[in-house]
Structure 1
Amino acid sequence: MSLNILFAAGSRQWDDYKPHLRRALQQAGIAAELGTDMPAEEVDYIIYAPSSPLQDFTPYRRARAVLSLWAGVETITGNQTLKIPLARMVDDGLTTGMVEWVTGHVMRHHLGMDRDILNRDATWAPRHVPLARERRVTMLGLGALGQAAAAALGGLGFPVTGWSRSEKQVAGIRCLSGEAGLHLALEEADIAVLLLPDTAATQNILDAQALALMPRGAFIINPGRGPLIDDDALIAALDSGQIAHATLDVFRIEPLPQDHPFWTHPQVTVTPHIAAETRAATAAEVIVENIRRSEAGEGLLHLVDRDLGY
């Protein structure tokens, strides 16, 4: 029997994904019709991006699952028409890209590289550069991305503390949870990396009070979600010197408006949501493996908990 798989993630992405999905389906021995337009009542699986025009899932009565191409699913978890299982994207290519981006910016701030890169006035100013073991890193969020980034930084010698809402155990990483754990994690964060999901419980987790807990002159790196940080509180902390620099890849509004003060603040680095992207070649394999598992009755990988929002 041939499956009908609807690709509901945009025409540009369709061009990228089409050959990779077809190859992965063939390698998995799955017979399927794959396309961007097919009768709703005949669809077995929906490959999806939350930005898709498809927002009403009611007509897809035969569909067995929605397979998201995005790691973040906060904009779809509340869709009341979505009654079937939803799987988010956990992809080795995406994870590797995030680890490389996070590691690069942690090292940049740890070594003070901006001072040398931006030095154009012929100033010879030697300085003490600490070792990694002397710089404490806090990873806020211990999902797949947070754990991978924490492991990479720990491998370089940084003392890494991880914090998550629920208790976790990760080999080689000091793990904290709960409100008291968050306060301790921030108090010891010379560099804080944010890799939490965007939920009601995590929005503005770095507000004025939280920022004041961090060591004076700390660094913030946010490749997670824009709403994790109170923008006004961050700017005030930067202006006062409480926070030395913030490197931000995600924002409440994207693209970041041209008049937003982050663009011109001397202690803010803006990157255009490039820390981790879904790569068609590897993501297609993840999608097809989930279809194979579903058809074999093995259960979906990376299933979203609607109550938690991720």
Structure 2
Amino acid sequence: MANPICLSPLKFYDDFHKQNRYRSFAYGHVAPLITNPNVITPFCINLGTEWAGHAHIIVSVKLYDANTNKLIGNYSQRFIDAGLHVEEINGSVIIWFLGIFPLSGVIDYEGQYYLAIKESLHDYVYSEVFCYTNDVSDCLKIEYWNPEGNLYVGGKYPIFPSKKAFHYILLLKSELGKPEYSFEEEATKRLGYSFIESQVSKKTYRFNTVIPEYLCDAMRIIRLCSQKKITCKGETYDAINFNMEVDWQEQGDLASVTCEFDVDNIITNLGGFKHGGGDFNNDFNNDYDTE
């Protein structure tokens, strides 16, 4: 089986030695994905088209300790009960995990783990390392989805199932700060005066985070999604756009990523500009009523 297509925050490979920590320039450093207590973040694994048209079932879901690579247990049924399933979409065999139900009793302690999942007709696929933690209060949360179901890799491999409530969740060590305030004006200049016809003011939110390449890959989907929510310190924002700028650090497996987004907080003044109680028209006379 070729390496699966996976643009989820929790990425999967056909060999666990392809995890980010095994790359030559990572020097064994682990930059894990943060997960909520008792929850694995939603993911999508596209296994390709080789076995399309056959029956597909999940036969194994194993959990490993990332520090020792030792097996902790096989939790196939618990993952299936929590929403893990496999189906064909546009001829592609896809494993979906909704991540909306708790997995109590699977992970008992904080630490670093990874998954190995086997579908009946394919070999195991292995996840990136994720960090199970009891406290995510210092994290910024991004939820993004595309209910239209019209995002594809290479024009044929779907990223989201069509017309389903599936959405990705990404937790980052960051918080909003140093917003930008911008103004736009349309004006006409006559006889040394600027007559403002319209004004627009908006506030752009920003945050910075340090992440590995596989999370940069996942985050580029955010901008393409029609729905995106960002939560920080208990406040939730409905982003109407999203941009990111990647700056690779000296330690080659990590990038400093600066992100910005806008919400519908635009203030507009479309009423023109009044001066000295009069209205400036083409004759520049005080042709208004006075007492």
Under TM normalisation by the shorter chain, which class is it?
under 0.3
**The structure with more radius of gyration:** 2
- Which has a greater percent of helix? 1
- Which has a greater percent of strand? 2
Q: What TM-score do you get using the length of structure 1 for normalisation?
A: 0.23
